Structure 1
Amino acid sequence: MVKLTTELIQNSMQYMNPCKDRELDLRGYKITQIENLGATLDQFDTIDFSDNDIRKLDGFPLLKRLKCLLLNNNRIVRISDGLEQYLPNLESMILTNNNITELGDLDVLSTLPKLKTLSLMHNPVANKQHYRAYVAYKLPELRLLDFRKIKQKERDEANTLFKSKKGKEMQKEITRKAKTFVPGGNMPDAKVTNLTPQEIHKIREAIKNASSLHEVERLTRMLQAGQIPGQKPLQPQTQASNGQQEEEEEMETDANGQ
């Protein structure tokens, strides 16, 4: 785990990429959050944050020059509101292999005025019903989604769907899910499940590292049932069960003595 410091930024590789853009390479440092980018002095067209541990896309200063963000292979679950205030000229955002889950989580991207290219491949959200149609509808200026062109016919069909009565109901449900789903949230406390704080922490860490919504839901159900990943269910220790356990231990001792 590395903190994104001014020194790290200044010492990282900087070069002209094949697109003739000036790029800052911050790959693979295990950075957990974006910060201190004022140290770039807004001198880069592209910043590569691939292969880190970033969970939320925020923390940007005003970067008028920045056109492309590469964020492959992180753990991003949330995109901050108001990015257009800090990244007004962003054209391309590559979020391949992250943990964005709900269609409604993508609404904030609609405020980026120049966004033309977006990749959400290998995110849970890409498996949602009407995924491409919803993105095409919400981001009318987008040209490439997951490296496939959004055709005009596809956009027209998306507009027809989401402007219909059925589509408006779908949008309400999409918004509701985005507001209520919190990765690792809504966790019962130790008193309910008879888990120790250390066991609760272990499951929280497993949920944080989960690669899909299905895995998050499975781990949450395990916690609610009083289970730890890889172990048998934990049962409440009543006086009766304690007494039974002691009796069994005594019988085992007698058997061994014989």
Structure 2
Amino acid sequence: MKLTPELLLSAPSYINPVNDRELSLRGHNIQIIENLGITRDLNDAIDLTDNSIQHLTNFPLLPRLSMLLVANNRIRAVNAANIGANLPNLRVLVLTRNQLAGLADLSFVATLPALEFFSALDNPCTTQTHYRDWLIWRNPGLRVIDFTRVRDAERAHARELFGESLDTPTDLARQILNSETAAGASKVFTTSTAAVGADGGGAASLQALSEEDREKLREQLKRATSLDEISRIQRALRGATSL
């Protein structure tokens, strides 16, 4: 299923138990992330659990977003430039039960300065030697990895293995960093409509809606029965095109 403006506008949005505004997109067999600009950055959390996403990319600028749940998908690559530029305040990222294979596939954690809670449980990468140490070294701000708190002794051990900082890496760190560079060069992130750059294709998400999608929004507007629903659809249409 496509992540269409219609699906985004009809998806449940509610205050979750930690008092955050959460948008639920669970279990729709979504394959590609697109059109999230329609949400107008109104959510603290987005739940994309139980879909079929392979590439974590194509996010527009969402400075409000602090929690992203993408467990039980098919993710094998994460666009570090895209999420680093467009999710600057992301604190919680759950990628449990996906297909990230090696340490090089985890380079994106270094681009998320606010990240504190991260899970990649049940991904192949968790079986790699120094998996946890590498995450700690690449993002010293991490507090919890795979639902286990990071201890000071682990931070010290990571520095012993990889160096005091990225400016003074050990040979082992250089080896993994070089593999990160090679892995990044070999991956091309695209959507069904356009190639995605570091800016996340946010403008495309808003401006390149098909005439069919715009017509669906107009039909929803005609059938809307509440002021809240009318307001949401009008915001979406203003973002995509003029009425």
TM-score (norm 1): 0.66
Q: Which one-letter code corresponds to 1:44 in the other structure?
A: N
State the match for 1:38 in structure 2.
37
State the match for 1:89 in structure 2.
89
Conserved 8 A contact 1:73-1:97: yes
Give the number of the structure with larger relative contact order, counting CA–CA contacts within 8 Å between residues 6 or more apart. 2
Shift of residue 171, structure 1, vs aligned partner: 2.3
1:162 is aligned to 2:168: no
State the match for 2:9 in structure 1.
10
1:52 is aligned to 2:57: no
Quickly say closer, same or farther: Cα 1:176–1:20, change in 2 above 3 A.
closer
State the match for 2:112 in structure 1.
112
Map 1:142-161 → 2, pairs under 5 A: 142-161=142-161
Name the SS for the 1:171 alignment partner.
Answer: helix
Q: Once the two structures are superposed, what CA deviation does each residue of 1:123-168 show, in whole Å capped at 9, x if it has no partner?
A: 0000101100111111111111001111111011111111274423
Shift of residue 179, structure 1, vs aligned partner: 5.2
Q: Which one-letter code corresponds to 2:140 in the other structure?
A: P
Map 1:135-146 → 2, pairs under 5 A: 135-146=135-146
CA distance in 1, matches of 2:61, 2:184: 27
CA distance in 2, matches of 1:157, 1:174: 22
CA distance in 2, matches of 1:172, 1:36: 33
CA distance in 2, matches of 1:88, 1:165: 29
CA distance in 1, matches of 2:170, 2:112: 27
State the match for 1:65 in structure 2.
64
CA distance in 2, matches of 1:174, 1:149: 27
CA distance in 2, matches of 1:70, 1:39: 19
Q: Once the two structures are superposed, what CA deviation does each residue of 1:85-140 show, in whole Å capped at 9, x if it has no partner?
A: 11111101000000001101111221111011100000000010110011111111
State the match for 1:178 in structure 2.
183
Aligned residues between the structures = 181
Please report the RMSD computed on the Cα atoms of aligned residues, expressed in angstroms.
1.8
**What percentage of residue pairs aligned between the two structures are identical?**
40
Name the SS for the 1:89 alignment partner.
Answer: coil
CA distance in 2, matches of 1:179, 1:63: 23
CA distance in 2, matches of 1:171, 1:63: 30
Conserved 8 A contact 1:102-1:174: no
State the match for 1:249 in structure 2.
none
Q: Which one-letter code corresponds to 1:23 in the other structure?
A: E
